[in-house]
Amino acid sequence: MVDVVLIFMLPNFNYNIKFQPQGVLYLAAALEKENVDVKILDMTINFWSKEKTLKFLLKEKPKIVGIGAMSNQLRDAVVYAKYFKDNGLQSKIVLGGPHVTLCPDFVKKFKMFDYGFVGEGELTFPKMVNDLIRGKKVKKIVYGKKVENLDSLPLPAYHLLEMKKYRMPHTSKIFSTMITTRGCPYSCDFCNVPKLSGRNVRFKSANTVVEEVRLLNEKFGIEWIMFTDENFTIYEKRVAKICHLIKKERIDVEWMCETRNDLVNRKLLSTMYKAGCRGIGFGVETGAESVRKKVKGTSPTDKTIIRSFNLCNEIGIKAIAFLMFGYPGETKEDMKKTSSFPHLINADSIFSNPNFFLPKTPIFEKSVRDGLIKKNMWNKYASGDMRHVPIYLPNGMTHKELLKIINNCDTKFYLRPSSLSKRLKINNFNDLRLLVRNSKDFLVEFNDFADHVFKSDYQIKRFLYPYYRKR
Ligand code: B12
Ligand code: SF4
């Protein structure tokens, strides 16, 4: 028996990425601090059917089942919660995470959820849980208090996950995610991070960050860390201190992070490289500067992007371009520019995605005002009335056309001989020999390559049509 089971919902497409869900890890740590017994089910790892999950829950008899879901995971959250309720689960079901934070009324329409939890959970969810356990009355929608001092939080409850099951492209090493900031001061049209976490960036101190790195390395054997902060390098001094401490404490890890192209420079990149940074994902978004200007603002320009990619190439950090297709006013010509841009900037890898119509983003709000979409489209998606996850289709383009463009972009990029040899770092016979010797890395690289080239269409289908996969 356990007090709380936290479920991180299924990913609805076969991302070649399996990341530890930091949100529920932080929640679990906060609950454990209050002596609440908690278990985590990460569906992105175990892919349990609703029947199997219910069986587990009926055995564990938790007082509370907490489900964390992004907007694109809503339909599964609804299907699972309804199934639990219809089949005798007595636990109270609480929905938390980004979607309900943006659209709190969601739980009033979808009655399989007893409660909705809005915002950050660490300071408020433990009290809610205690109230529910003691049979006290709790409001239908509970609002979480923002955590002002991230250093005051207990470290995420990594011990509740099977850490070795997680993986990411670019490495065969044992890997974990970490997140060290909350909030973003920028205002890209397609993104709802500033709405979710605020414009004011809250940081963990370098000491706390490195303490977590050390714990992951020593206790869980983690050799590779992915910092999933949106703009890891936004405060240069803090990153330099993190690098200094990793080196000083001789922690044997390599790592990656994500940031904007206008938030790096030669000095910082070379400090990062020396402390183990081996990859950076940049939000390039589009190869058409005029479109980028509209959705992201005046920066980063093409020039800034090219410069940062060149610097990474020079220093030895893999530079990954995140691309999106489907912006207001974007033409097929613009999309062609996006497809060829990674070649121009000499990217090591790309991630191309359609632009989600994420609720409460500037693009979403404007499209509702312009009568392009209905405000309740995510409810329709959640209930199954809408077949696929809402994505932005510019200028009357069809889904099929957009997906084809995205697939072609991937195929064109990954099938270039220079791209393959760069990914595999084969410049001469000796490189080839080393690669074969280190066959695990070879397989990882080959798997990523194959995923992009042969299965990208299949992946995107799974992401757009959640019921593609039988469960
Ligand atoms: C890391 C990350 C990923 C990773 C890993 C996801 C994972 N396994 O956790 C990867 C790269 C795989 C990913 C993919 C995607 N992501 Co993402 N991702 C993030 C990112 C940058 C950090 C998430 C995180 O760790 N946050 C830190 C934790 C502490 O916060 P949190 O998760 O929100 O949890 C807190 C609260 O929400 C709440 N809470 C959460 N769950 C629960 C449950 C209960 C019961 C309760 C009470 C409370 C509660 O308490 C937590 C602690 O305070 C966020 C942006 C952000 N800053 O949040 C985007 C974000 C979550 N992603 C987003 C999106 C759109 C996606 C994709 C759909 C993108 C795409 N086009 O491919 C995919 C979908 C993947 C899937 N699983 O289906 C959006 C979601 C917006 C929305 N409306 O849902 C975000 C907010 C970014 C954005 N652009 O707006 N993502
Ligand atoms: S896309 Fe990145 S930089 Fe832009 S608002 Fe979102 S989190 Fe901030």
Judged on CB neighbours under 10 Å (0-12, 13-18, 19+), 84 is buried
The answer to whether the CB of 262 is under 6 A from ligand 2 is: no
> Can you give the pTM of this predicted structure?
0.92
The answer to whether the CB of 191 is under 6 A from ligand 2 is: yes
pLDDT recorded at residue 465: 36
Between residues 456 and 38, which one has the greater pLDDT?
38
Q: Going edge to edge, which strands form the sheet with 141-143?
A: 38-42, 4-8, 64-68, 92-96, 115-118, 141-143
Task: Using the predicted structure, report yes or no on whether residue 299 has a pLDDT greater than 60.
Answer: yes
As a whole-number percent, the residues of the chain with pLDDT over 70 amount to 87
Task: Using the predicted structure, report yes or no on whether residue 224 has a pLDDT greater than 90.
Answer: yes
The answer to whether the CB of 97 is under 6 A from ligand 1 is: yes
pLDDT recorded at residue 423: 62
pLDDT recorded at residue 159: 98
CA 182–ligand 2 middle distance (angstroms): 12
Q: Which ligand number lies closest to the CA of residue 31?
A: 1
CA 187–ligand 2 middle distance (angstroms): 6
Instruction: Report how far apart the first and last C-alpha atoms of the chain are (Å, whole number).
Output: 27
pLDDT recorded at residue 417: 75
d(CA 31, CA 120): 13
Between residues 10 and 68, which one has the greater pLDDT?
68
Nearest CA-CA partner of 264 in 294, 225, 226, 299 = 299
For the residues 372-386, what does the mean pLDDT come to?
A: 92
Phi and psi at 73, nearest 5°, equal -100, 5
d(CA 234, CA 263): 6
pLDDT recorded at residue 81: 98
The total of other beta-carbon atoms located within 10 Å of residue 452's CB is: 24
Say if strands 115-118 and 277-285 run parallel, antiparallel, or are unpaired: unpaired
Task: Using the predicted structure, report yes or no on whether residue 356 has a pLDDT greater than 80.
Answer: yes
Most confident option among 40-49, 160-169, 182-191:
182-191
pLDDT recorded at residue 466: 35
Between residues 385 and 415, which one has the greater pLDDT?
385
What ligand 1 atom has the least distance to the C-alpha of 12?
Answer: 78
For residue 396, CA distances in Å to 358, 400, 420 come to 19, 12, 35
pLDDT band at 13 (very low <50, low <70, confident <90, very high): low
Task: Using the predicted structure, report yes or no on whether residue 454 has a pLDDT greater than 70.
Answer: no
pLDDT recorded at residue 395: 83
Q: Which ligand number lies closest to the CA of residue 70?
A: 1
pLDDT band at 157 (very low <50, low <70, confident <90, very high): very high
pLDDT recorded at residue 153: 98
The pLDDT mean for the chain works out to 90
What ligand 1 atom has the least distance to the C-alpha of 359?
Answer: 83
pLDDT recorded at residue 458: 40
For the residues 428-440, what does the mean pLDDT come to?
A: 59
Query: What pLDDT, in 10s, does the model give residues 408-430?
Result: 998 889 888 776 666 666 555 66
User: If you take atom 84 of ligand 1, which residue's CA is the nearest one?
Assistant: 70
d(CA 317, CA 124): 40
pLDDT band at 456 (very low <50, low <70, confident <90, very high): very low
pLDDT recorded at residue 277: 98
pLDDT band at 461 (very low <50, low <70, confident <90, very high): very low
The answer to whether the CB of 114 is under 6 A from ligand 1 is: no
Nearest CA-CA partner of 334 in 367, 295, 298 = 295
pLDDT band at 269 (very low <50, low <70, confident <90, very high): very high
Q: Interior CA angle at 257 toward 253 and 261, to 5°?
A: 140
Query: What pLDDT, in 10s, does the model give residues 89-121?
Result: 999 999 999 999 999 999 999 999 999 999 999
Q: Please, what are the domains in the chain?
A: 4-145 (3.40.50.280), 429-471 (no CATH)
Task: Using the predicted structure, report yes or no on whether residue 450 has a pLDDT greater than 80.
Answer: no
For the residues 278-303, what does the mean pLDDT come to?
A: 96
